[in-house]
Homo-oligomer: A and B are copies of this chain.
Amino acid sequence: MKVGVVGASGYAGTELLRLCASHPELEVVLATAGGHEGQSVGAHTPALAGAYPRLVYSATAADLDGLDGLDVVFLALPHGRSQTLVPELMDRVGLVVDLAADFRLHDPGLYPVWYGEVRRAPELLSRAVYGLPELHRDAIRGSRFIAVPGCYPTAATIVLAPLLEAGLIARPGPSVPPLVVDAASGVSGAGRGASEHLQFGSVQEDFVAYGLLDHRHTAEMEQSLGVPVLFTPHLAPMTRGILVTAYGRAATAAVTTLDALDALRARYDDEPFVTVVEEPPSTKATRGSNSVHVSTRVDPRTGWLVALAALDNLVKGAAGQAVQCVNIALGWPEGLGLPQAGLFP
């Protein structure tokens, strides 16, 4: 299958190239990167030099034509740009997979509120499938336009949805506390562009919260879980990985850790990329793989439940989930070309 990657020089684009290099059916024939037109992919990102010795970045603008007729096009651009690009692409390529936030929020009113920008092409919202296979596999099959979820919402939703569905967490509302989603991420979530606060000298030995009260993924979690969420992300001194530690009131005093673990196991026993673990999930265990590790505890002292999920933000939180969606959409084995084993150490 002929594949195009738009925005191929960023972290998510680079990860798409890495995964496609090991995928038996996906062949990258076009990689665009504004500002790097004509540069060899391997010169810009030496990690790809061996796998793509001859691939050269095309410029985004000039290459919409180059995308014509491709089987799969991944969009790995900063949010806001897919809204103008997708309408032009939709009918020219086989499958559009958008890794940005543009088509994730179904309610057209939410995008302007959380992203501070105009909502363009709202008519396409209904054609975009939210690409979280563990919850929406059937909708992804045969789809031609997939909006890949954000990294934090993927982690939070996978561990919390079954616990809410099973009625183990008290459903937040006027007299019930919100879900408190505390999370930590490696710096690759912030993208490849240079900025002083992402310099090695700034990040190393630093653990710091950001996006207090207004991180955009809040809206995406609230959409997926259907309840109010208080979300606090942190930047951890590592490159990849997200850990979500979420808190909610247990539905009743009778709910136990065993109940909660059983609910996760019942839901995920057949899922190739979700592993329910008894020990606290570790981001490192998922690094480089498309796996999510989840666990949970119920605290009899306070009557609250703690839910934990770890994943690699660039794989299951972005490029890997995108490829998983392609595998499903095109009817291939869901795990085709996707690593299940993490890089350890």
A residues apposed to B, CB below 8 Å: 11, 14, 17-18, 21-22, 42-43, 45-53, 177-178, 180, 182, 184, 186-188, 192-196, 198-210, 212-213, 228-230, 232, 234, 236-241, 243, 245, 247, 249, 272-273, 275, 277, 279-289, 291, 293, 297, 299, 301-302, 304, 306, 308, 310, 339-345
Contact = CB atoms under 8 A, between A and B. Distances in A.
A18 B344 contact: yes
A290 B208 CA distance: 18
Given A177-B304, A272-B50, A187 B209 contact: no
A177 B18 contact: no
B208 A283 contact: yes
A247 B205 contact: no
Nearest to A269: B53
A237 B234 contact: no
A22 B342 CA distance: 11
B202 A293 contact: no
8 contacts: A51-B341, A177-B177, A182-B182, A200-B203, A207-B284, A208-B310, A213-B301, A232-B247
Nearest to A314: B345
B345 A201 contact: yes
B289 A345 contact: no
Nearest to A286: B47
Of A46, A48, A182, A194, the most chain B CB neighbours within 10 A belong to: A46
A116 B14 CA distance: 36
Contacts of A193: 196
Contact of A282 (B46, B232, B339): B46
Given A198-B200, A200-B237, A245 B232 contact: yes
B206 A187 contact: no
A208 B47 contact: no
Nearest to A189: B201
A310 B238 CA distance: 18
A193 to B, nearest CB: 7
Contact of A284 (B17, B47, B187, B273): B47
Contacts of A208: 243, 280-284, 310
Contacts of A238: 204-207, 237
Nearest to A212: B297
A234 B245 contact: yes
Nearest to A273: B50
B192 A47 contact: no
B280 A209 contact: yes
